[in-house]
């Protein structure tokens, strides 16, 4: 008994001194089931350009206890050389030391490399020792999916993101049920040191793909046009939305905020979430109310009172000093007279403001649009019977010109699109189809919010008034000689009610309308918040952005042109490129050409009756290690030339090349990176 007791005590002492790390509860070999995220589905534009996709990244581990001594010693040197050549982060000697160290430690799950791409993984699988696999060579890899947006910040806020630690937003959040797929499961074993090693895994099923309504060309043009105006006017932020009037399909949506560094970024979805006082763009709703109730007629006149008029204790002012004299309703609307519109509305609804507000409600202006993307703000249009303590004699006249009401840009756009659509108001939508492995799984059709927001007679009257704003009124600067534009400017003080007249220094400039006015297809809204330089009115700040977008859309959408216009454009535009290819195409199309002899790469110029080809000295520049000008070329030709020289070419967008990261004339060297941007 004494000897047995001595043995037990000795074993306890030995275990305590030399084996405590084995029996520590933290190092028990326990297992757990872990959810394996599926690869999220892709998000495409309307022409299947990738807006968001999941790129696999791999974490490489090594089980040092698996290879036999002979296999390890025969191949560890070759493996180390292969890894050094592949990654270039360590020498072969350093890699070999690492493997010997982990082998001596008998590591079960040694970290070799993080953030390995698929091509690198393929190479690693072919290297000595690793090519023996997991159960003979100890090679373990774990896939993680990283979300990427090939067009970077383009429509970034609308595409959104899906995050477990916070609320998902944008399309990623709204359509997560389709995109997320079905998760798998991984059984993991806990090793000493708190490391979890996978034992086996059930495969996840990838998510489905979304095809959006976004036109990447329109999106790009809208973003560039808005960014340029935000910087030009030193504005705080701005937004743009472009929508088809007959369907509600959103073709472009841009939300930009200026940073302290003078750059524009997408950080908040102003189009759907920022509910503000709209200003003069709301005058359209006020005029429709008066016309529908029979109180107003387009030929009614009103005295603008020298541009200043008092409603009780508050002063209403026109932007033009001295006012506009006595003008018709149409002229008051075209010139955006605050005094004129508010006097007419107050004259007829002063004693019955609830009738005015009820008519606004009947057009659905007090209801949200019910779009698929989360975050839409509710409109705020007060009713005199519901908020007696917050309604005064000045509420109605100020409400009639877009103050003391709040509405989002998308809600305003939807209302104007209904006017363009003959009164039918459509629900804006962003996704047209869901694909499962390339096959149609679900489609989304246009939805009608209201079949008619007002009478056809009123629609016809206000359509003419909106055209007059561009033809004769506050937006004459965007009048086009090619097609008609209809719309309304808006300029309003920010936080008007909470500041005195002396403190009101911040403005919101806007323009909303549709085109072509005689056969409307697209409606667009532009809002720029707090412009500080080079003007502050909607016609000066926001309307030019609208015009830039409308010009591009009109030029590229051939369905907007009649057959005569298309027939008159007999000489086509083309990309610059290889002359023999260009000549072949033009000859097949029977287009006359005028070319210089012995030209390899050519610039194209569309003349009235022929295409002129001029020499472009790209090959000579490359031979002299000078960056050539590839702007205007197609991607295939440019990549062929630059990669043959030895440059690493990256690109974004589609169409012809509009920008190159290395300017023409700069010295270049083989292996240098260059980025090409296409539009």
Give residue-wise pLDDT tens across range 426-456. 999 999 999 998 899 999 999 999 999 999 9
- For the ranges 37-41, 192-196, 487-491, the lowest mean pLDDT is seen at 192-196
84 pLDDT band (50/70/90 cuts)? very high
List strand residue ranges (DSSP E) for 203-354, in order: 209-212, 237-244, 250-258, 264-265, 301-303, 308-311, 314-317, 326-328
User: Is residue 400 within 8 Å of residue 411, measured between CB atoms?
Assistant: no
Given CA atoms 25, 31, 34, 36 in this order, what sign does their dihedral have? positive
Report strand pairing: 326-328 vs 301-303.
antiparallel
Q: Identify which has the larger pLDDT, 229 or 28.
A: 229
**Quick one: pLDDT at residue 472?**
93
**Quick one: pLDDT at residue 502?**
53
Which one of 333-342, 610-619, 651-660 scores highest in mean pLDDT?
Answer: 333-342
**Quick one: pLDDT at residue 488?**
97
**Quick one: pLDDT at residue 633?**
81
Q: Identify which has the larger pLDDT, 561 or 79.
A: 79
Q: Which pairs from 613-619 meet CB under 8 Å and 24+ separation?
A: 613/579, 613/582, 613/583, 616/576
Share of the chain above pLDDT 70, in %: 90
Mind listing the pLDDT tens digit for each residue in 537-592? 999 999 999 999 999 999 888 888 765 554 555 566 666 677 777 777 777 777 77
User: Is residue 447 within 8 Å of residue 440, measured between CB atoms?
Assistant: no
- Displacement of CA 652 from its chain's centroid (Å): 15
Query: How far, in Å, CA of 164 to CA of 507, rounded?
Result: 38
> Which residues, other chains included, contact 303 with Cβ-Cβ below 8 Å and sequence gap of 6+?
325, 326, 343
195 pLDDT band (50/70/90 cuts)? low
CA atoms within 13 Å, Cβ hemisphere of 28: 5
Q: Identify which has the larger pLDDT, 211 or 30.
A: 211
Q: Is the peptide bond before 613 cis (omega within 30 degrees of 0)?
A: no
Comparing CA positions, the residue from 602, 609, 674, 672 lying closest to residue 639 is 674
- For the ranges 255-264, 300-309, 556-565, the lowest mean pLDDT is seen at 556-565
**Quick one: pLDDT at residue 425?**
97
The Cβ of residue 588 has, within 10 Å, a number of other Cβ atoms equal to 8
Q: Identify which has the larger pLDDT, 611 or 130.
A: 130
User: Is residue 237 within 8 Å of residue 210, measured between CB atoms?
Assistant: no
Given CA atoms 554, 560, 564, 566 in this order, what sign does their dihedral have? positive
- Average pLDDT of span 173-199: 78
Which one of 131-145, 329-343, 601-615 scores highest in mean pLDDT?
Answer: 329-343
> Which residues, other chains included, contact 624 with Cβ-Cβ below 8 Å and sequence gap of 6+?
none
- Give the DSSP per-residue string, 234-265: T-SEEEEEEEETTT-BEEEEEEEEE-TTS-EE
- Average pLDDT of span 325-349: 96
Q: Identify the bridge partners of residue 517 per DSSP, sorted by sequence position.
A: none
Phi, psi of 355 (to 5 degrees): -65, -40
Q: List for the chain the helix, strand, coil content (%; round to 5).
A: 35, 25, 35
Q: Identify the bridge partners of residue 13 per DSSP, sorted by sequence position.
A: none
Query: Distances from the Cα of 55 to the Cαs of 99, 143, 179, 518, in angstroms?
Result: 29, 10, 14, 46
Fold match between 29-212 and 216-560? Answer: no
User: Is residue 555 within 8 Å of residue 537, measured between CB atoms?
Assistant: no
**Quick one: pLDDT at residue 523?**
98
User: Is residue 281 within 8 Å of residue 469, measured between CB atoms?
Assistant: no
The Cβ of residue 675 has, within 10 Å, a number of other Cβ atoms equal to 13
**Quick one: pLDDT at residue 583?**
73
226: helix, coil or strand? helix
> Does the structure show a pLDDT above 70 at 29?
no
User: Is residue 433 within 8 Å of residue 46, measured between CB atoms?
Assistant: no
CA atoms within 13 Å, Cβ hemisphere of 668: 27
User: Is residue 158 within 8 Å of residue 373, measured between CB atoms?
Assistant: yes
Q: Identify which has the larger pLDDT, 654 or 85.
A: 85
Query: How far, in Å, CA of 254 to CA of 225, rounded?
Result: 10
Largest CA distance in the chain: 121
- Average pLDDT of span 152-177: 83
- Average pLDDT of span 395-423: 96
Query: How far, in Å, CA of 571 to CA of 585, rounded?
Result: 13
> Scanning the structure block, which residue is given the tokens 């009713």?
383
The average confidence (pLDDT) of the chain is 87
User: Is residue 169 within 8 Å of residue 266, measured between CB atoms?
Assistant: no
Comparing CA positions, the residue from 116, 68, 70, 71 lying closest to residue 89 is 116
**Quick one: pLDDT at residue 240?**
97
**Quick one: pLDDT at residue 560?**
85
Which pair of tokens denotes residue 359? 């008519």
Q: Identify which has the larger pLDDT, 15 or 424.
A: 424
Q: How many residues does the chain have?
A: 679
Query: Distances from the Cα of 68 to the Cαs of 36, 71, 99, 138, in angstroms?
Result: 31, 5, 14, 10
**Quick one: pLDDT at residue 550?**
96
218 pLDDT band (50/70/90 cuts)? very high
**Quick one: pLDDT at residue 612?**
72
Share of the chain above pLDDT 90, in %: 56
Which pair of tokens denotes residue 506? 């911040």
Query: How far, in Å, CA of 337 to CA of 331, rounded?
Result: 8
Q: Identify which has the larger pLDDT, 438 or 204.
A: 438
User: Is residue 513 within 8 Å of residue 334, measured between CB atoms?
Assistant: no
**Quick one: pLDDT at residue 39?**
83
Mind listing the pLDDT tens digit for each residue in 479-521? 998 899 999 999 998 876 655 555 557 899 999 999 999 999 9
144 burial type by CB count under 10 A (0-12 exposed, 13-18 middle, 19+ buried): middle
Q: Fold for domain 29-212? A: Penicillin-binding protein 2a (Domain 2) (3.90.1310)
Phi, psi of 552 (to 5 degrees): -65, -45
Out of 2.40.50.100, 3.10.20.600, 3.40.30.10, 3.30.10.20, which CATH number does the structure's domain 577-678 have?
A: 3.30.10.20
128 pLDDT band (50/70/90 cuts)? very high
- Average pLDDT of span 9-28: 64
35 burial type by CB count under 10 A (0-12 exposed, 13-18 middle, 19+ buried): exposed
List, in sequence order, the alpha helices (H) in 455-594: 456-471, 538-541, 543-556, 563-568, 579-588
Query: How far, in Å, CA of 336 to CA of 160, rounded?
Result: 37
User: Is residue 599 within 8 Å of residue 613, measured between CB atoms?
Assistant: yes
**Quick one: pLDDT at residue 56?**
83
**Quick one: pLDDT at residue 503?**
55
Comparing CA positions, the residue from 411, 351, 413, 349 lying closest to residue 381 is 411
* Domain definitions of the chain by residue range: 29-212, 216-560, 577-678
**Quick one: pLDDT at residue 491?**
93
Query: How far, in Å, CA of 157 to CA of 169, rounded?
Result: 8
Q: How many Å is the Cα radius of gyration of the chain?
A: 33
Phi, psi of 470 (to 5 degrees): -85, -35
> Which residues, other chains included, contact 312 with Cβ-Cβ below 8 Å and sequence gap of 6+?
392, 393, 394
Task: Write down the pTM of the prediction.
Answer: 0.74
Q: Fold for domain 216-560? A: Beta-lactamase (3.40.710)
- For the ranges 22-31, 283-292, 400-409, 651-660, the lowest mean pLDDT is seen at 22-31
CA atoms within 13 Å, Cβ hemisphere of 196: 11
Secondary structure letter of residue 191 according to DSSP: P
19 pLDDT band (50/70/90 cuts)? low
Query: How far, in Å, CA of 240 to CA of 529, rounded?
Result: 12
Which pair of tokens denotes residue 670? 């083989």
The Cβ of residue 190 has, within 10 Å, a number of other Cβ atoms equal to 16
Q: Identify which has the larger pLDDT, 32 or 459.
A: 459
């Amino acid at each position: 008994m004494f000897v047995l007791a001595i043995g037990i005590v000795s074993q306890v002492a030995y275990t305590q001194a030399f084996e405590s790390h084995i029996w520590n509860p933290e190092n028990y070999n326990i297992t757990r089931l872990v959810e394996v995220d599926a690869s999220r589905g892709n998000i495409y534009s309307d022409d299947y350009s990738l807006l968001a996709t999941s790129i696999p990244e791999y974490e490489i581990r090594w089980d040092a206890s698996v290879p036999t001594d002979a296999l390890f010693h025969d191949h560890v040197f070759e493996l180390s050389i292969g890894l050094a050549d592949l990654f270039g982060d360590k020498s072969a000697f350093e890699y070999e030391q690492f493997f010997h160290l982990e082998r001596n430690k008998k590591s079960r799950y040694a970290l070799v490399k993080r953030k390995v791409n698929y091509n690198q993984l393929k190479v690693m699988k072919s290297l000595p020792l690793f090519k023996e696999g997991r159960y003979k060579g100890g090679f373990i890899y774990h896939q993680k999916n990283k979300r990427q947006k090939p067009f970077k910040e383009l429509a970034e806020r609308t595409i959104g993101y899906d995050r477990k630690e916070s609320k998902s937003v944008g399309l990623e959040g709204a359509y997560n049920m389709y995109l997320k797929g079905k998760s798998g499961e991984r059984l993991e074993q806990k090793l000493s040191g708190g490391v979890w090693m996978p034992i086996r895994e059930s495969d996840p099923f990838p998510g489905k793909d979304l095809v959006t309504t976004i036109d990447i060309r329109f999106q790009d043009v809208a973003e560039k046009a808005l960014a340029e105006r935000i910087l030009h006017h030193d504005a705080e932020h701005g937004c743009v939305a472009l929508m088809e009037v007959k369907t509600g399909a959103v073709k472009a949506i841009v939300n930009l905020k200026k940073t302290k560094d003078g750059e524009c970024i997408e950080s908040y979805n102003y189009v759907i979430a920022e509910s503000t006082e709209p200003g003069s763009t709301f005058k359209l709703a006020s005029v429709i109310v008066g016309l529908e109730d029979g109180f107003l007629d387009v030929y009614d006149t009103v005295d603008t009172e020298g541009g200043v008029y008092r409603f009780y204790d508050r002063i209403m002012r026109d932007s033009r000093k001295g006012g506009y004299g006595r003008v018709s309703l149409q002229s008051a609307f075209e010139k955006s007279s605050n005094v004129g519109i508010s006097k007419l509305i107050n004259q007829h609804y002063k004693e019955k403001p609830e009738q005015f507000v009820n008519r606004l409600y009947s057009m659905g202006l007090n209801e949200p649009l019910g779009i698929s993307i989360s975050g839409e703000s509710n409109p705020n249009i007060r009713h005199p019977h519901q908020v007696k303590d917050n309604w005064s004699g000045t509420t109605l006249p100020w409400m009639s010109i877009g103050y003391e009401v709040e509405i989002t840009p998308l809600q305003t756009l939807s209302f104007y699109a209904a006017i363009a659509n003959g009164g039918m108001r459509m629900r804006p939508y962003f996704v047209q189809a869901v694909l499962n492995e390339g096959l149609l799984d679900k489609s989304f059709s246009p939805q009608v919010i209201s079949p008619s927001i007002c009478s056809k007679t009123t629609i016809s009257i206000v359509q003419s008034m909106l055209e007059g704003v561009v033809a004769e009124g506050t937006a004459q600067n965007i009048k086009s000689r090619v097609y008609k534009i209809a719309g309304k400017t808006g300029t309003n003080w920010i936080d008007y009610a909470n500041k005195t007249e002396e403190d009101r220094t911040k403005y919101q400039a806007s323009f909303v309308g549709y085109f072509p006015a005689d056969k409307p297809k697209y409606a667009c809204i532009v809002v720029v918040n707090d412009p500080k330089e080079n003007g502050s009115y909607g016609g000066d700040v926001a309307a030019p952005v609208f015009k830039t977008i409308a010009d591009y859309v009109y030029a590229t959408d051939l369905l907007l042109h009649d057959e005569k216009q298309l027939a008159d454009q007999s000489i086509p535009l083309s990309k610059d490129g290889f002359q023999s290819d260009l000549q072949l195409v033009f000859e097949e199309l029977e287009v006359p050409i005028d070319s210089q002899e012995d030209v390899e790469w050519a610039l194209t110029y569309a003349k009235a009756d022929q295409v002129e080809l001029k020499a472009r000295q790209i090959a000579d520049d490359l031979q002299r290690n000078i960056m050539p000008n590839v702007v205007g070329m197609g991607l295939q030709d440019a990549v062929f030339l630059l990669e043959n020289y030895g440059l690493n070419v990256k690109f974004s967008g589609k169409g012809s090349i509009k920008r190159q990261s290395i300017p023409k004339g700069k010295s270049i060297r083989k292996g240098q990176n260059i980025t090409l941007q296409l539009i």
